[in-house]
């Protein structure tokens, strides 16, 4: 039972100690306690020597691994919700997906809109606002708008009639999207006219520019990077295939024209379907520091096989793959993030630490929020997951609060012990 003195302590000021655990920090996993207060990870030395306090709550993790929470930069929906189609119920739809992601270790994400009519952007974008996570769901980091400024030849599951060019430069960008305040990432084809000037303005405003759905050669990609692009959308998919005389956007992974000190990041779909295991190994071995695991999940994630939606298209899920209805064109993944991490780890035989950071630290660095997300460093947000060595999620925590706990791995009440405050 909670002691009376502890009840008087503000919940935000309660010290929580996670013990008997292995934590991921600075690219390695080692045995150390994790201390949390006021939604942040704190340095226990200051507690011991300056405050001379003990933890109010100790949680025995039974040798679990504690990793930073996963961050998904590209997810179109899930659990029957499509962010680009359900315009009248987008707020409740985003909330449903946000809640569902917690079971898969995702503590932050960027809801993604595929190429859509202008009126869809004007209706949807004002309704998907940045929002702190909690028991209600994962943190919303802003919207990823994937199109409509893409290549018709590499449109994939994007409707051709909605694809646009920058007729009036950045003015066109603003006119198409309307409210751009909630946009964090833009995917565009760098070979389109007036793209360099648009990228420059987007970078100035702190919006991440990603190149993709493109026929671009390497020079187009390098020009985009020099103007401020920092990300490649789902590497290998919806772009020119690698060629030894012009490797296209894939060549950015090994280009010597990247400005000094700049990292080109790339999302890669590791669902075991969109990208061959050998291609995963090539990307990992060529440019590991830029690798970001994304799901590119669609409304069918978490559902049975059948007919669903992505943007303006009807899709069919058959044999664990999602296709545009009546075709063999892949149109997104149905694998959740924890499954993608496990698949990537098995395909590349990379260190466990790397697989976890590719879904946490790397996307945080890409968004330039790694001071507070994607890390277990002191002062960072206490967003993390407990898992076993097989990368099976036991529980998910946001701001130091347990927001999901697996029934099969729930911590028994006896391992949580409250202690009297010293004062």
- Euclidean distance between CA atoms 90 and 299, whole angstroms: 13
* 213 labelled ligand-binding: yes
* 146 labelled ligand-binding: yes
DSSP-assigned beta bridge partners for residue 81: 78
* 237 labelled ligand-binding: yes
Quote the DSSP letter at residue 131: B
296 is catalytic: yes
* 182 labelled ligand-binding: no
Assess contact for 368 and 362: CB atoms under 8 A. Answer: no
**Angle, vertex CA 165, rays to CA 109 and CA 114, nearest 5:** 25
3-state SS class at 149? coil
* 331 labelled ligand-binding: yes
User: Can you say whether the dihedral through the CA atoms of 126, 132, 133, 136 is positive or negative?
Assistant: negative
Q: Annotate 70-83 with DSSP letters as a single string.
A: EEEEEE-EETTEET
- Euclidean distance between CA atoms 419 and 423, whole angstroms: 12
Alpha helices in 106-178 (DSSP H): 118-124, 170-177
384 sits in which H/E element: strand 384-387
Assess contact for 376 and 27: CB atoms under 8 A. Answer: no
Structure tokens, 316? 């069919």
357 sits in which H/E element: helix 352-358
321 sits in which H/E element: strand 321-324
Tell me the three-class secondary structure of 210-273, residue by residue.
Answer: EECCECCCHHHHHHHHHHCCCEECCCCCCECCCCCCCCHHHHHHCCCCCCCCCCCEEEEECCCC
Which is the catalytic residue, given 217, 271, 296, 381? 296
- Euclidean distance between CA atoms 297 and 336, whole angstroms: 7
* 342 labelled ligand-binding: no
* 376 labelled ligand-binding: no
CA distance to 18, 44, 370, per residue, from 50 (Å): 20, 10, 27
- CB count in 10 Å sphere of residue 406: 15
- The residues annotated as belonging to the active site are 296
Q: Residue ranges for the binding site?
A: 146, 157, 213, 234, 237-238, 245, 274, 330-332
């Amino acid at each position: 039972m909670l002691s009376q003195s502890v009840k008087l302590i503000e919940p935000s000021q309660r010290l929580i100690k996670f013990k008997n655990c292995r934590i991921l920090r600075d690219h390695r996993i080692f045995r150390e306690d994790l201390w949390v207060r006021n939604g942040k990870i704190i340095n226990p030395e200051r507690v011991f020597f300056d405050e001379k306090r003990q933890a109010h709550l100790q949680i025995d993790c039974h040798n679990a691994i504690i990793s930073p929470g996963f961050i998904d930069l590209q997810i179109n929906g899930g659990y029957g919700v499509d962010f680009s189609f359900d315009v009248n119920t987008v707020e409740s739809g985003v909330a449903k997906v946000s809640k569902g992601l917690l079971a898969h270790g995702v503590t932050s994400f960027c809801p993604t809109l595929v190429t859509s009519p202008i009126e869809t952007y004007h209706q949807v974008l004002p309704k998907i606002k940045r929002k702190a996570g909690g028991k209600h769901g994962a943190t919303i980091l802003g919207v990823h708008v994937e199109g409509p400024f893409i290549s018709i030849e590499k449109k994939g599951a994007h409707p051709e009639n909605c694809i646009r060019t920058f007729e009036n430069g950045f003015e066109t960008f603003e006119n198409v999207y309307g409210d751009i305040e909630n946009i964090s990432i833009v995917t565009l084809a760098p070979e389109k006219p007036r793209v360099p000037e648009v990228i420059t303005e987007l970078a100035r405003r702190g919006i991440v520019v990603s190149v993709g759905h493109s026929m671009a050669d390497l020079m187009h990609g390098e020009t985009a990077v020099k103007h401020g692009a920092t990300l490649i959308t789902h590497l290998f998919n919806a772009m020119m295939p690698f060629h030894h005389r012009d490797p296209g956007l894939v060549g950015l992974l090994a280009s010597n024209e990247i400005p000094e000190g700049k990292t080109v990041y790339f999302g890669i779909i590791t669902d075991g379907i969109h990208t061959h295991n050998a291609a995963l190994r090539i990307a990992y071995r060529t440019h590991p520091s830029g690798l970001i695991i994304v799901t590119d999940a669609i409304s069918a994630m978490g559902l049975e096989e059948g007919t669903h939606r992505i943007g303006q298209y009807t899709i069919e899920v058959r044999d664990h793959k999602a296709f545009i209805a009546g075709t063999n064109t892949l149109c997104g993944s149905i694998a959740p993030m924890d499954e993608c991490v496990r698949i990537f780890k098995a395909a590349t035989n990379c260190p466990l630490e790397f697989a976890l950071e590719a879904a946490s630290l790397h996307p945080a660095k890409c968004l330039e929020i790694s001071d507070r997300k994607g890390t277990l460093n002191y002062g960072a947000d206490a967003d993390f997951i407990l898992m076993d060595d097989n990368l099976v999620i036991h529980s998910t925590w946001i701001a130091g609060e347990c927001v999901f706990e697996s029934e099969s791995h729930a911590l028994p009440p006896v391992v949580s012990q409250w202690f009297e405050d010293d004062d």
